[in-house]
Amino acid sequence: MTEKEIFEILKEKFGDSIIEFVEAQAGENYIKVSPLEIDKVCAFLFTDDRLLFDSLINFSGVDDANGEKKVNEDGSFDFIGGTLSVVYHIESLKHLHKLTLAVSVEKDKPDVVSVTDIWAHANWHEREAFDLLGINFLNHPDLRRILMPYDWEGGFPLRKDYKDPEFYRGMKVPY
C-alpha cells in the first residue's frame, strides 16, 4: 500500500488528528499527526488487517530550530518559542510497506503520548529523546535519563541553543 493510500485511510478514520501529508523536496514524505493522538493512530496502524505495522524501525527526536533567534553578547544564542519534532519510521513485516509519521510540539509544553505500549522498542528511544531533547512522553512507564548521568541538570544537549553548564559536581565543564 502506498503512503498516499494509508493517508486516506487514516484521514477517514481520525479526521482532524491527521494534520497533513508532507511531500518532501528531497528524501521521503511523511504524515503529520497530532501529538496527543499519536498513540491511538499507532494502535490502529498496528492492529488493522490492511496495515499491520508490526515493527517500529526508527524513532528520532529533532529540534526544528524554528523559533525567534536571539543572539547574546558573548556570541551564544537562544531560541524563543519554536517546536520540537518526533519522527517515527514504521514498517510492516507482513505487507512489506513502510511509513513515516511525525509529530511536532511547542518547546514550552513538549508533551507527546508514548507509544511504548504498542512497540516495546520505543521505550529506550523515548527515554533518549527525553534525555537529549527534553520531550516529555506521557504514559511512559519509566521515563529516566539514559545516556546522560542521572543527576545531570545542565539542560538538554541536542537542543540547538544548548549551553554547557559552568560546573558539574564541582568540576569545571568548559575547558
Rounded (10°) angle between helices 38-47 and 3-14:
120
Using the structure block, give the residue that is written with the C-alpha cell 542521572. 150
- Residues in the interface with another protein (CB under 8 A) total 36
Identify whether the C-beta of residue 103 lies closer than 8 Å to the C-beta of residue 32: yes
CB of 63 to another protein, least distance (A): 7
Strands 98-106 and 30-33: parallel
In the set 15, 26, 75, 109, which binds another protein (CB under 8 A)?
26
43 binds another protein (CB under 8 A): no
Instruction: Confirm or reject binding of residue 79 to another protein (CB under 8 A).
Output: no
C-alpha cell at 142: 519509566
Based on the shown chain and the rule CB under 8 A, indicate whether residue 100 belongs to the binding site for another protein. Answer: yes
Q: Is 19 in the site for another protein (CB under 8 A)?
A: no
Member of 96, 170, 174, 175 binding another protein (CB under 8 A): 96
Shortest Cβ distance from residue 22 to another protein (Å)?
10
- The answer for residues whose C-beta is within 8 angstroms of residue 14's C-beta and 6 or more apart is 37, 40, 41, 44
Choice between 30 and 137, CB closer to another protein: 30
State in angstroms the smallest separation of the CB of 35 from another protein: 18
Q: Which of residues 149-168 bind another protein (CB under 8 A)?
A: 149, 157-158, 162
| One of 36, 37, 146, 164 touching another protein (CB under 8 A) | 146
Calculate Rg over the CA atoms of the chain: 18
Question: Terminal CA-to-CA distance of the chain, rounded, Å?
Answer: 53
Degrees to nearest 5, angle at CA 55 with 54 and 59: 140
Q: What is the largest CA-CA distance in the chain?
A: 58
List interacting residues with another protein (CB under 8 A). Answer: 24-28, 30, 54-63, 65, 87, 89, 93, 96, 100, 119-121, 123-124, 132, 145-149, 157-158, 162
